[in-house]
Amino acid sequence: MLNLKQELMSYPPIDINSLTEKDSSIPDNIINSIILYNKALENIRMNSEDIAVIELKKAISMNPNFHEAMNLLGICYVFTKDYPKAREIFEKVAALENNGVKALSYLNMINTGSVSVQDTEIRKGSAIEKKPLQAAAKMQNAFKSISTPVKPEKMNLAFSSGLFKMIGGFVAGILVMILFLLIIKTPGKSVEVLNDRINQGESQNKTESTANQESGKLKEENEKLQNELKSAKAELDYYASVSKLGEAERLSAAKNYEAAADLLVMMKTMQLKDTEKSRYDSLYNSVIPKAAWAVFNEGNSLVKYKKYQEALTKLSKVQVYGDSWNYLDATLYKMGVCYKEMNESKNALEVFKKLIEKYPKSQYASYANYKISELTGAP
């Protein structure tokens, strides 16, 4: 028999720091999928299998070859008794060479009915804690009430107090009629019967009160899980930002300044913490000037080879990277030339006029005036 909770404990978290130290080129999607996998393990140990399922699905979508995450997702489905989905997951993994044996063993247990959800619960940082079977059943019923649609004939009191009151009122009316008939037919027993009915009514009220309390607790737990999910998403987004910063550092080290600068410009609005913010500022101040100069030279070369559209793409980046370069007048002039040669006279005139306005004393301003006269036919 498979003890699902004990099986879940056999899946250890993955040490991301150790992996990145050994190989700094691990892609962002792999790192992010591992973060989600570790978060799912933590939620499983907190008995939040529904949140774990969401995180594992995201991890697998980022990294479709994450077989360990697929097996863990299958086990979560078994624990929630969604056997068709569990079987589908294990069949996929079984078809793969690395984790095929483990998945096949799970499939065999499902097919032979050798799966049991025993009365054990995992607590973070502690050994498995035994609980009565009734408590485990109660926990599973509460979980089902959150994760599955409610059927009208089996509506949980925790989510239907209004309907319960309406039905209770209807039943109470019938009971009054029955009591009245009993009093007429059996006067000697009327008081005893009436007391029994009153006791049943009090018990019904207590049950309703308990249901309302449980409903409130479940609502609080659900809100807590939603908040944890938001926190996990924020944490994941931050790790993605840090990962992009690391990628920019690697590109800079490889002297691919343009690609590094593009990443840094995209990250400019991100909220980084002190350490990462310091890394970002230092890298930005180092890379951006080099990238601006590199794309200017490349754009200038493309103009010489009459590749005007490609040249415009490069030269436009010079302005994106900043407006304090001492060759911006030349950049604007080259852009105007590109537009003119591409027969985009309106754009060419706008760029030449901008050059004259911003840099009136530049030699390129005189060149721009000449180009304007060519475009307009003015002397």
Contact 155, 141 (CB under 8 A): no
CA distance 38 to 16: 10
Kindly state the helix (H) or strand (E) to which residue 116 belongs, with its residue range.
Answer: strand 115-116
pLDDT tens sequence for the chain (379 residues): 566 667 776 788 898 888 888 887 888 889 999 999 999 888 787 767 777 888 899 999 999 888 888 989 988 888 878 888 988 988 888 877 555 677 777 777 777 776 665 533 433 333 333 333 343 343 334 333 333 343 434 334 333 444 444 445 554 555 545 554 554 444 444 556 556 655 666 666 667 777 777 788 788 878 888 887 777 776 777 777 788 899 999 999 999 999 999 999 988 888 888 889 999 999 999 999 999 999 999 999 999 899 999 999 999 999 999 988 999 999 999 999 999 999 999 999 999 999 999 999 999 999 999 999 999 987 6
Percent helix, strand, coil in the chain, to 5, is 75, 0, 20
- 93 vs 25: CA distance, rounded Å: 26
Are the C-beta atoms of 87 and 110 separated by less than 8 Å? Answer: yes
Closest by CA position to 59, among listed 14, 98, 25:
14
Q: Residue 128 burial by CB count (10 A; 0-12/13-18/19+): exposed, middle or buried?
A: middle
According to the model, what pLDDT value does residue 97 have? 54
> Rounded to whole angstroms, how far apart are CA atoms 356 and 142?
73
- Report how far residue 190's alpha carbon sits from residue 303's, in angstroms, rounded to the nearest whole number: 107
Does the model's pTM come out above 0.75? no
Per-residue pLDDT at 156? 41
Q: How many Cα atoms occupy the beta-carbon half-sphere of 43 within 13 Å?
A: 27
Q: Are 302 and 317 in contact (CB under 8 A)?
A: no
Q: How far is CA 146 from CA 116, 117, 122, 212, 366, in A?
A: 21, 18, 20, 15, 74
